[in-house]
Amino acid sequence: MTMRRGAASVGQDSVRLPGTATIAEAIHDGARRLRDLADNPRLEARLLLAHALGLSRADLIRDPHRSVETGTFNDLLTRRLLHQPLAHILGRREFWSLEFQVSPATLIPRPDSETLIEAALVHFAHRPPPRRILDLGSGTGCLLLALLHEFPAAFGIGIDIAPDAAGLARRNAIRIGLADRAAFLAGDWTKPIAGRFDLVISNPPYIPAADIDDLMPEVALHEPRRALDGGADGYDAYRTILGDLPGRLLPGGTAILELGAGQAKEVAALARQAGFAASLHLDLAGIQRAVVLSPIGD
């Protein structure tokens, strides 16, 4: 027999107070409501319910017949049905097996961007590891902090145009335990700093401005335009970064940039004009997602 809070007070276990359900029922109902919107409705329903109740996913699995209040869960479902990104509702997103706090101040970390970390590991596998790393447009700090996690002798600087993003990244550095090797600044690309680096990394805005409104509403309505908008053709930020790079790399230094789908050829051509050789790395979907740039003649 299923135990339901409230049922005992009316003496019949088939009657339930409004706003309660068993965990299994709540997940089932949530998944049904999210069916047309989410790639994995059951997983999202589970995550939202766990968040609403302050329980772990393991707690939910252990005790599916437990009766719970569904008010907060329903509020979160409503927000998700209005296309708020799951990561904004949960306030966090995993990247490179590290947990990042997220906010509407900046882009939510994406699995595609892990390709840049893989590219860095491949590049440095047979070279001395980088000591100085610069992340341009650092957002949550996910790229820089994942790199610092992998390269324990490195120190990194992240720069973001949004002060709220720089603050968020700093909090992420503290939470992950990397604050003694990371500094985050608010400013315009490389302008706030002098100095040269072994590795420059960036996931710049690269969506052509006119295409942004056609992105999924989670992105177009809820992620900051300046983290997405690459100007009329999508390549504005690459031009800026490529112009700055020669003055920012140490001898033997390299830059790794994220690419939008279909942008590899044009970015490689821009890189060649700026004096860099380009090699490309594919993401899990087979898209050329990361470009590794080395000064020609290095």
Rule CB under 6 A: say whether 205 interacts with ligand GLN: yes
Distance in Å, CB of 262 to ligand GLN, minimum: 12
Distance in Å, CB of 207 to ligand GLN, minimum: 5
Largest Cα–Cα distance of the chain, in whole Å?
A: 83
CB closer to ligand GLN, 30 vs 234:
234
Q: Give the position of tokens 């590991």.
A: 121
- Each as own residue / partner, the long-range contacts of residues 259-263 (CB below 8 Å, 24 or more positions apart, any chain) are 259/206, 259/288, 259/289, 259/290, 259/291, 260/206, 260/207, 260/230, 260/234, 261/287, 263/206, 263/234, 263/235, 263/288
For residue 2, what are its two tokens? 């299923």
Rule CB under 6 A: say whether 68 interacts with ligand GLN: no
Report how far residue 229's alpha carbon sits from residue 225's, in angstroms, rounded to the nearest whole number: 6
Q: How many CA atoms lie within 13 A of 66 on its CB side?
A: 12
Give the dihedral sign, CA 280/285/287/290.
negative
For residue 46, what are its two tokens? 């589970």
Rule CB under 6 A: say whether 206 interacts with ligand GLN: yes
CB closer to ligand GLN, 130 vs 204:
204
Rule CB under 6 A: say whether 110 interacts with ligand GLN: yes
Binding segment (CB under 6 A) for ligand GLN, from list 3-11, 44-52, 60-68, 204-212: 204-212
For residue 251, what are its two tokens? 């001898």
Q: How far is CA 129 from the centre of its chain?
A: 24
Distance in Å, CB of 261 to ligand GLN, minimum: 8
Distance in Å, CB of 49 to ligand GLN, minimum: 27
Rule CB under 6 A: say whether 235 interacts with ligand GLN: no
Binding segment (CB under 6 A) for ligand GLN, from list 53-61, 190-198, 205-213, 265-273: 205-213
Of 74, 172, 203, 288, which lies in the binding site for ligand GLN, with binding defined by CB under 6 A? 203
Q: Which of residues 247-266 bind ligand GLN (CB under 6 A)?
A: 258
Of 145, 207, 242, 278, which lies in the binding site for ligand GLN, with binding defined by CB under 6 A? 207
Q: Give the position of tokens 């790079």.
A: 245
- A 10 A CB-CB count for 192 gives 11
Distance in Å, CB of 106 to ligand GLN, minimum: 11
- Residues near ligand GLN (CB under 6 A) are 107, 110, 203-207, 215, 219, 228, 258
